[in-house]
Amino acid sequence: MTSPPDEYQDIVFLTVKAFDTATAAREALSMVGPDTTIVSMQNGLGNVEILAGIAGKGKTVGAMAIFGVVVLAPGSVQVTSIASETLVGEIDGGLTPRVEALAWMIDRAGIPTRASDNIMREIWHKALFNIALNPLSSIFQSTYGQIADNPHIRRLIKEMITEAFCVAKAAGMDLGMDSPDEYLEILWNQKLPPTRDHRSSMLQDIIRGKRTEIDYINGKVVELGARYGIETPYNSAVVMMVKAKEVLGPA
């Protein structure tokens, strides 16, 4: 994050790693005025709630984006793939003039975007994508396409997503789907194909010797499972393997 400007901003985008959300949100308060909107455009679960707790629920907007990027230099990134349109929305649901205007602005900037009347569900949908692919891409050092083509990994992903569905239901989140199989059909046939050549940001973090967001992706499934008395052995194992990779580094 760069140094905050000395004046209030109309919109502040929070795009930091999940483990830096609280720190970045507090640092951003100096540029938050009466009419400022802060947008959480991040990976993982729990970011919106943290941001709302610091900046205020009325100033917080959630966003869901699934596009791959590669960092070329500080402040310079290259978009490598776009799996779906970006969504923005009020955390309590519904469509408002500010999220409609925000969606229009991002769309005009060249990133396909629309407003959502259920952004928290959409954030969970993105989390499912990350739960399935991010850690396994980093563990096996593979592209998403290589993961999709391996029947053993696909079976593992089915178990991980099934656990995520169970904890989401226990947490009161309606995913809008009847079963994990319905989501997996969408994943394999719609979400994944445009990103077949992509390697996860989690793998990029491991290669660079950086901390990953595993605690806020699969780790959040494990955390919610413990809270609601649901066993999550597959996600638990994946979390431990990624944490081991953080220490060991790439092969």
Q: Which residues are catalytic?
A: 126
Question: What 3 state SS string does the chain have?
Answer: CCCCCCCCEEEEEECCCHHHHHHHHHHHHHHEEEEEEEEECCCCCCHHHHHHHHHCHHHEEEEECCEEEEEEECCEEEEEEECCCEEEEECCCCCCHHHHHHHHHHHHCCCCEEECCCHHHHHHHHHHHHHHHHHHHHHHCCCHHHHHCCHHHHHHHHHHHHHHHHHHHHCCCCCCCCCHHHHHHHHHHHHCHHHCCCCCHHHHHHHCCCCCCHHHCHHHHHHHHHHHCCCCHHHHHHHHHHHHHHHHCCC
